[in-house]
Amino acid sequence: MSLYYFDLREGSELVIDDDGTELRDMSAARNEAARALSGLAWDAMRSGDDVKSQKLAISVRNAHGPVLDVKISFEVARATTDTAPDGAPESKETHRLLAAFDRMTNEDMRATVLALAQRYASGSPEFLRAMQKVLEQLETRH
């Protein structure tokens, strides 16, 4: 058994482990560092704070000096930016598509809607909302 020290770096903060942990070998130290980092990442996500990104690292050392660095980073980003009239989220791609439809003539729109309907017959909820908006725009142009 050997004594390993786990120094934690969270962003710009450094927490030095003065006590150490007795472990059987380097493999056990690596597993302990990875387990600790995954737990810290999980805690950061569950904290309720608006965590957008996080960089965590543990430097493992023994009586002779540094032996291992274990790092983890993650980023959380919302995939949506706008809200559709019904309150449902609207992606950037849907927003771009609807803006393009606004610039089209009725004939262009009909051809585009037909091509999209044939290509994406399965119809995700977002796709169906986009098509509903296009049909509404066609009706208002008549």
Render pLDDT for 65-124 as a digit per residue (tens, 0 to 9).
Answer: 999 999 888 776 655 445 555 555 556 666 666 666 666 666 666 666 666 665 655 556
What are the tokens at 37?
């980092």
- Amino acid of residue 86: D
Q: Which residues of 21-57 are buried (b: 16+ CB within 10 A; e: fewer)?
A: eebeeeeebbebbeebbeebbeebeeeeeeeeebebb
- Report H helices in the chain: 26-46, 92-102, 106-119, 125-141
| pLDDT of 6 higher than 90 | yes
The neighbouring-strand residues paired with 58 are: 8, 70
pLDDT in tens, 121-137: 555 666 666 766 766 66
Rounded mean pLDDT of the chain?
75
pLDDT in tens, 26-70: 999 999 999 888 888 777 766 655 656 778 899 999 999 999 999
